[in-house]
């Protein structure tokens, strides 16, 4: 059973790494900033879920990064350190996939996408050390 959990967690990490690669590629295109932010958020969601899966912590279908960090913090208190980064990325979930996701006339800009990618990379590094 434990081996199955580890393999499943690894699959989540592989998908998370793919999301970071996609976020990086979209940022380089210099016009797909919302999509880059979305993939940064998705990478973090998958990393956090990989941690929970590896620890055999069951969770409902959730996309809220703050909630996932809180669940991870129940196992390892150091996860509170990444809460501000997760909070920044949280709005980039599904909302970033629709026009006017951030309010009238507001769209993610290049700086937002850069910050989102950097946040995702920091969380990825943190979670990988914990796995």
Domain ranges, ordered by start, for the chain:
2-130
pLDDT for position 6: 81
* pLDDT over threshold 80, residue 2: no
State the chain's mean pLDDT as an integer: 90
pLDDT for position 103: 52
| Weakest-pLDDT range from 3-7, 30-34, 78-82, 86-90 | 3-7
Alpha helices (runs of H) in 55-109, residue ranges in sequence order: 65-73, 83-89
* pLDDT over threshold 50, residue 104: no
Average pLDDT over residues 91-100: 69
User: How many Å apart are CA 39 and CA 33, to the nearest integer?
Assistant: 10
User: How many Å apart are CA 108 and CA 93, to the nearest integer?
Assistant: 12
pTM attached to this predicted model: 0.90
Average pLDDT over residues 7-12: 93
pLDDT for position 98: 60
- Between these two residues, 58 and 83, which has the higher pLDDT value? 83
Superfamily of domain 2-130: Nucleotidyltransferases  domain 2 (1.20.120.330)
């Amino acid at each position: 059973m434990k081996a199955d959990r580890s393999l499943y967690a690894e699959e989540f990490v592989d998908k998370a790494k793919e999301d970071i690669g996609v976020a990086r590629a979209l940022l380089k295109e210099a016009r797909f900033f919302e999509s880059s932010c979305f993939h940064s958020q998705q990478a973090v969601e998958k990393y956090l879920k990989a941690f929970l899966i590896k620890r055999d912590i069951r969770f409902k279908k959730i996309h809220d990064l703050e909630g996932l960090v809180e669940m991870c913090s129940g196992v390892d208190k150091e996860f509170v350190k990444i809460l501000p980064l997760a909070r920044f990325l949280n709005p980039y979930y599904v909302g970033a996939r629709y026009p006017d996701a951030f309010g009238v006339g507001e769209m993610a800009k290049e700086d937002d996408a850069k910050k989102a990618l950097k946040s995702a990379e920091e969380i990825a590094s943190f979670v990988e050390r914990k796995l």
